[in-house]
Amino acid sequence: MKVISKNVWILSLVSLFTDIASEMLYPIMPIYLKSIGFSILIIGVLEGVAEALAGLSKGYFGKLSDTSQKRLPFIQMGYGLSALSKPLLVLFNAPLWVFFSRSIDRLGKGIRTGARDAMLSDEAGPKTKGAVFGFHRSMDTLGAAIGPLIALAYLYYHPASYKPLFFIAFIPGVLALLITFFIKEKKKTTISEQKRPGFLAIVNYWKESPKAYKQVAIGLLAFALINSSDVFLLLQLKQFGWSDTHIIALYILYNFVYALFAFPMGKLADKLGLKPTFILGLILFSIVYLGFSFELNTTVYLCLFVMYGLYAAATEGIAKAWISNITDKKDTATAIGTLAGFQSICTLIASSVGGFIWYQFGANILFTTAGISTLVCICYLIFGTEKNS
C-alpha cells in the first residue's frame, strides 16, 4: 500500500512553502516592530492576542469543515489569508493596521488547520497515521529551517533593511496557495444536515467527545501548560554568553533535526505505537529542560538541541495521529481543532507563568520545574489513558 499519497505530498509542499514564508519573518518580526516604534509590551500583547485568535478559531472552523463535509475551501482560504498578510504588514505603520494584518495571518492558520489535518487523516489508514502526519511535519519543518536561512542571507547583504523581506516572503506564500489547486478532494457519500456551529464549538465538542479523547487531551493539555516558548531556551544560551549568530544557528539545527526525523518517527510510531512514541518524546523533552538547568559546554548544548529536535519529531505530528485514531472520522477536524484551541490557551499561560518564574526565581528553577513536571505528565499518560488509545 502506498503510504504517502498525491494529496499528502501536495499538502506537505504547501506547508513547506508557507513555513518558508512565515519563518523567514519570524526572527526579524520583533526587530522590525521595534524599529517602527512598538514597545516590548505592545509586541507581547500583539503576539499573544494573534496566537489566541488562531487557536480559538481552529475549533470553530474545524467543526464547520466537519459540518459542511468540505476540506479544500478552508485549506485554500486559510493559506490565502496567510500569504496576503505578509505584504500588508509593512504597507502602514499604524498599530491598528499591524494588529489587523497580523491577525489575518493567524486567522488563516485557524481556518486551515483542522480541515488540512482531517484531509491528512482521510489519506491514511489506522496503521499509517504516524507516517502520514510525520511526513507532513517533516516537510513543514524543513520550511521552518529554510526560511531563517534566507532571512540571514538577505540581511547579511542588506542589514537593517526589513521591509523588502516581507514582500519576498509573499512569493513562497503565493506558491503555497497555487499548489492547493492541485488537491483532489474526495467526494462524500452522505450529506450532513447539522446546524452551523456556534463559536463555542470547542466547548460543545468537549462535552460530547469520547472518553478516550478526553483522557488523552487532558494529558496533552497538561503538557502544554508546562511547555513554554522556545524563546526561553534561546534566552538561557544568551545568558550563558552565546552570540546571536550561534543561537540562530542552533535554532536552525533544531529545525533540521526535526525535519529529518519527523517521518522516521512517524513510521516508528506505526510499528511501536503512537502512545509509546509520544511518551519517548516527552522523556527527551524532560532531559533537555533538566539539562538547561546547568551551565554546560558547547558540545553538550549541541546534543541537547539535537534531542530537542527528536522530541518535536516524536510528539507534534504523532499527537494529531493519536487524536485522529480515537475519534469518529466525521469529527476529525473538530477534534484536532478543539485540542489546538485549548492548547493555544495553555501555551499562552505557560509562557506567561514561565516568564514570571524566570523573573522571580531564576531560569534554573523554570527549567527544573518544567523537566520534573513533564515526568508527572508521562506517568499520567501511561496509567491514565487506555492501553490501545
**Residue range 221-247, pLDDT digits in tens:** 999 999 887 878 887 888 888 877 787
Which pTM value belongs to this model? 0.83
Per-chain mean pLDDT for the chain: 87
**Residue range 86-129, pLDDT digits in tens:** 999 888 878 888 888 888 988 999 899 999 999 999 998 888 99
Residues 6+ apart with CB under 8 A from 19: 140, 141, 142, 143, 144, 147
Inside any domain, residue 39: yes
Inside any domain, residue 1: no
Is pLDDT at 255 greater than 80 in this prediction?
Answer: yes
Average pLDDT over residues 172-194: 81
Helix (H) or strand (E) holding 118: helix 95-122
Read off the pLDDT band of 78 (50, 70, 90). Answer: very high
What single DSSP character describes residue 331? G
Residues in the chain, total: 389
Inside any domain, residue 101: yes
Read off the pLDDT band of 200 (50, 70, 90). Answer: low
Read off the pLDDT band of 41 (50, 70, 90). Answer: low
**Residue range 307-360, pLDDT digits in tens:** 999 999 999 899 999 999 999 888 888 898 889 888 888 887 887 888 888 888
Inside any domain, residue 377: yes
Residue 279: give the domain boundaries.
6-183+201-384
Question: Residue 272 is part of a domain; what is its CATH number?
Answer: 1.20.1250.20
| Model pLDDT, residue 7 | 94
Average pLDDT over residues 12-20: 95
Number of domains in the chain: 1
Among residues 178, 176, 169, 177, which one has the least CA distance to residue 87?
169
Q: How many CB atoms lie within 10 A of CB 166?
A: 22
Inside any domain, residue 189: no
